[in-house]
């Protein structure tokens, strides 16, 4: 018995050729030009080859692209909301022509598919953003991707696939459309409601999916996106462990978990249509659409990019044509007096409804505070705590910057001893002189070389921070821009504290611990910071310390108090 839902466009366009075809393409490929796919293109290719993007048979050509942007229609008239294009830089584009066969390779160089090039053109990317996302604001992640991370030329054409991109993680959970369809048939699942998500699932999600499935007398497919989601989201490894945990909270044999290698665009209403098409291709009959579905939130002025139920409204207009039903949900909130989740529109007057936003949840995890039982399940919370330990168990970097002899090494050494005394995390000191001896021995003191040196320190410190250790850096680091680069590299992986050792030049020169100021004044040492080379004072320091009238211990005590205030050291990180 075939699955009751036909794919979008009538047939599943699986684009992998048979073994003979693949062998032939491999033999011919010596003479094909090659393109190494970007992570986004790799995700798109996987859904194209597996039929998840049926009826597309390749990357869009120009007429399809323009139709999709302007009217959400392919040239054939079929509904398609968001362009799926292959972007390349100009030099690659110039080497391609109609009739060229382009080998598409993964980052290891393995040929996954060939593209029979039909068209190469330069799109109007601002117009694309306006049409597809209704915005040209770079704070919208979809817009940012098109305008900043997309190459300026598009290549359209038909694909022939040799193999799907290979994944080593959660292999048994990655079911392609045909495999899922087969499973549904084998299990006798005629009605399947899909739940799209890019976040960990908590009680609200369990309640609403369970409710949807029960009311429709359908089975549930938890179908999370594991390709690319919004920058800053919880990594998919952690999320999948959360989904596996939550799957045990449904009646047996009514729920299935499968991972979707989609690169999300955060395109709100249009993306909801894409999600519906993809789920239809995977054999689902229904899709749950809640509040602000696939929405990027608000811009910096607080204005949301999309209305909270705009995605539902757009999908409603097209569900008849698609033949997949939307299951709309209002925002679910917790009602303590009933100990139950209800839609935000069902909250009785005067009753206090509770929710926790993603940001509030992160804050509680960072502070090591309780996550209420009404909000989530203990197993899910435990997984999240493993990935997001409280700040006092995360790694951090203290980065000292200042003139020579200002006191950076001295303070870093004293701080190291204090932190070792407290224990709990390994401490690495990346002192300026030491780094120059071991890590950067070939570098001089030009701006270029100084910047390379700081980037190297930043890289090592970011690895240490990621692995939950403490890095103390004490280079001069005279340039603001590279200090900012280092902050951006490290801050997302733990803590970053910039300390300006703001001892005045005259004091540093008087100390002249290594006799270097004297040599610089005499012109024996060139490019000496403070004398014959610039020092840009930080504008973003977390602390500034003038060591002129203080003992090193006093300065370090101030730093320790700051680290305590910020939560990097505290209960559990010392005696």
The total of other beta-carbon atoms located within 10 Å of residue 134's CB is: 17
User: Cα(400)–Cα(541) distance, rounded to whole angstroms?
Assistant: 9
User: Cα(241)–Cα(246) distance, rounded to whole angstroms?
Assistant: 9
By CB under 6 A, name the one of 408, 418, 487, 500 that touches ligand ADP.
Answer: 408
Q: Per the structure block, which two tokens stand in for 236?
A: 């998919």
Residue 523 — φ and ψ, nearest 5°? Answer: 80, 10
- Shortest Å distance, C-beta 60 to ligand ADP: 24
Q: How many helices (H) and strands (E) would you count in the chain? A: 20, 19
The residue (of 93 and 384) whose beta carbon lies closer to ligand ADP is 384
410 binds ligand ADP (CB under 6 A): yes
Segment interacting with ligand ADP (CB under 6 A) among 234-242, 297-305, 406-414, 417-425: 406-414
- Shortest Å distance, C-beta 28 to ligand ADP: 41
By CB under 6 A, name the one of 61, 117, 175, 289 that touches ligand ADP.
Answer: 289
3-state secondary structure 4-58: CCCCCCCCCCCCECCHHHHHHHHHHHHHCCEEECCHHHHHHHHHHHHCCCCCCCE
279 binds ligand ADP (CB under 6 A): no
Q: Per the structure block, which two tokens stand in for 431?
A: 């002192």
Catalytic residues: 197-199
- Shortest Å distance, C-beta 308 to ligand ADP: 9
**Contacts with ligand ADP, 315-334, as mask; x by CB under 6 A:** --------------x-xx--
Find out whether 46 and 261 touch, Cβ atoms under 8 Å: yes
Contacts of residue 188, defined as CB under 8 A and 6 or more positions apart, other chains included, come to none
Three-state DSSP at 264 gives coil
- Shortest Å distance, C-beta 309 to ligand ADP: 9
- Site residues for ligand ADP, window 473-502 (CB under 6 A)? 474, 501
- Shortest Å distance, C-beta 200 to ligand ADP: 8
User: Cα(384)–Cα(65) distance, rounded to whole angstroms?
Assistant: 40
Tell me the number of residues near ligand ADP by CB under 6 A: 34
404 binds ligand ADP (CB under 6 A): yes
The residue (of 318 and 466) whose beta carbon lies closer to ligand ADP is 318
Find out whether 164 and 49 touch, Cβ atoms under 8 Å: yes
The total of other beta-carbon atoms located within 10 Å of residue 322's CB is: 17
The residue (of 288 and 569) whose beta carbon lies closer to ligand ADP is 288
By CB under 6 A, name the one of 83, 227, 402, 478 that touches ligand ADP.
Answer: 402
513 binds ligand ADP (CB under 6 A): yes
398 binds ligand ADP (CB under 6 A): no
Chain residues binding ligand ADP by CB under 6 A are 196-199, 204, 208, 288-294, 329, 331-332, 402, 404-411, 474, 501, 511, 513, 547, 550-552, 555
């Amino acid at each position: 018995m075939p699955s009751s839902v036909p794919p979008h466009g009538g047939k599943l366009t699986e684009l992998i050729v048979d073994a003979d075809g693949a062998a032939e393409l491999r033999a011919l490929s010596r003479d094909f030009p090659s393109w190494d796919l970007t992570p986004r293109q790799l995700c798109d290719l996987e859904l194209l080859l597996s039929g998840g993007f049926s009826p597309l048979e390749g990357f869009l050509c120009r007429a399809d692209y323009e139709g999709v942007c302007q009217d959400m229609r392919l040239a054939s008239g079929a509904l398609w909301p968001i362009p799926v294009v292959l972007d390349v830089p100009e030099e690659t584009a110039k080497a391609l022509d109609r009739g060229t066969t382009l080998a598409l390779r993964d980052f290891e160089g393995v040929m996954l598919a060939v593209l029979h090039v039909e068209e190469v053109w330069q799109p109007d990317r601002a117009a694309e953003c306006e049409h597809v996302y209704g915005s040209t604001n770079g704070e919208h992640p979809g817009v940012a991707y098109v305008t900043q991370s997309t190459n300026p030329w598009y290549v359209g054409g038909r694909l022939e696939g040799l193999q799907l991109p290979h994944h080593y993680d959660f292999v048994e959970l990655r079911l392609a459309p045909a495999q899922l369809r087969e499973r549904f048939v084998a299990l006798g699942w005629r009605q399947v409601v899909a739940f799209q998500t890019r976040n960990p699932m908590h009680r609200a999600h369990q309640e609403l999916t369970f409710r949807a499935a029960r009311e429709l007398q359908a089975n549930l497919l938890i179908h999370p996106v594991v390709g690319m989601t919004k920058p800053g989201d919880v990594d998919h490894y952690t999320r999948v462990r959360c989904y596996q945990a939550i799957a045990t909270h449904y009646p047996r044999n009514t729920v299935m978990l499968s991972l979707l290698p989609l690169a999300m665009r955060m395109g709100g209403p249009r993306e909801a249509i894409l999600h519906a098409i993809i789920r239809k291709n995977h054999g689902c009959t229904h899709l749950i659409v809640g509040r602000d579905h696939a929405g990027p939130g608000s811009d910096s002025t607080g204005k949301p990019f999309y209305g909270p139920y705009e995605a539902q409204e757009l999908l409603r207009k097209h569900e008849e044509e698609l033949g997949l039903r939307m299951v709309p949900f209002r925002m679910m909130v917790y009602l303590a007096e009933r100990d139950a989740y209800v839609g935000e529109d069902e909250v009785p007057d005067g009753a206090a409804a509770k929710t926790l936003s993603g940001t509030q949840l992160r804050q509680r995890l960072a502070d090591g505070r309780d996550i209420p039982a009404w909000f989530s399940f203990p197993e899910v919370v435990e997984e999240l705590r493993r990935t997001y330990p409280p700040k006092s168990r995360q790694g951090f970097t203290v980065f000292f910057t200042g003139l020579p002899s200002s006191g950076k090494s001295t303070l870093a050494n004293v701080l190291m001893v204090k932190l070792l005394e407290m224990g709990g995390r390994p401490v690495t000191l990346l002192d300026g002189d030491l780094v120059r001896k071991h890590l950067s021995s070939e570098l001089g003191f030009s701006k270029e070389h100084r910047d390379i040196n700081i980037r190297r320190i930043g890289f090592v410190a970011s690895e240490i921070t990621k692995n939950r250790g403490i890095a103390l850096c004490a280079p001069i680091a005279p340039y603001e821009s590279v200090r900012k680069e280092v902050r951006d590299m490290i801050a997302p992986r733990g803590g970053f504290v910039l300390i300006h050792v703001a001892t005045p030049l005259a004091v540093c020169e008087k100390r002249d611990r290594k006799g270097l100021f004297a040599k610089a004044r005499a012109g024996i040492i060139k490019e000496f910071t403070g004398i014959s080379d610039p020092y840009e004072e930080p504008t973003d320091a977390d602390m500034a310390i003038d060591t002129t009238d203080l003992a090193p211990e006093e300065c370090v005590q101030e730093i320790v108090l700051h680290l305590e205030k910020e939560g990097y050291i505290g209960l559990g990180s010392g005696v």
